[in-house]
Amino acid sequence: MRYGFLAAAWLAACASSPAGAADCNRQAFASCQACHALTTDAGQKPGPQLVGIAGRPVAGDPSFDYSPQLQAARANGDRWTRERLDTFLSDPQALYPGTWMGSPPIRDAKQRADLLCVLDRP
Ligand code: HEC
Contacts of 59 by beta carbon, 8 Å cutoff, 6+ apart:
48, 66, 70, 71, 73, 74
Name the DSSP letter for residue 35. Answer: T
Q: In 18-91, at which residue ranges do the beta strands (DSSP E only) sit?
A: none
pLDDT at 7 over 50: no
The pLDDT tens digits of the residues spanning 26-64 come to 999 999 999 999 999 998 899 999 999 999 999 999 999
From 40, 103, 110, 115, mutation site for ligand 1 pocket: most ligand atoms within 8 A of C-beta:
103
Q: Where do the domains of the chain lie?
A: 20-120
pLDDT at 70 over 80: yes
| CA 30 from centre of chain | 13
Ligand 1 touching residue 33 (CB < 6 A)? no
Ligand 1 touching residue 102 (CB < 6 A)? yes
Q: How far is the CA of 32 from the centre of ligand 1 (A)?
A: 7
Ligand 1 touching residue 103 (CB < 6 A)? yes
Which class in CATH covers the domain with range 20-120? mainly alpha
- Average pLDDT score over residue span 96-118: 96
pLDDT at 2 over 90: no
What local confidence, expressed as pLDDT, does residue 84 receive?
A: 98
Q: In whole angstroms, what is the distance from residue 10 CA to residue 4 CA?
A: 10
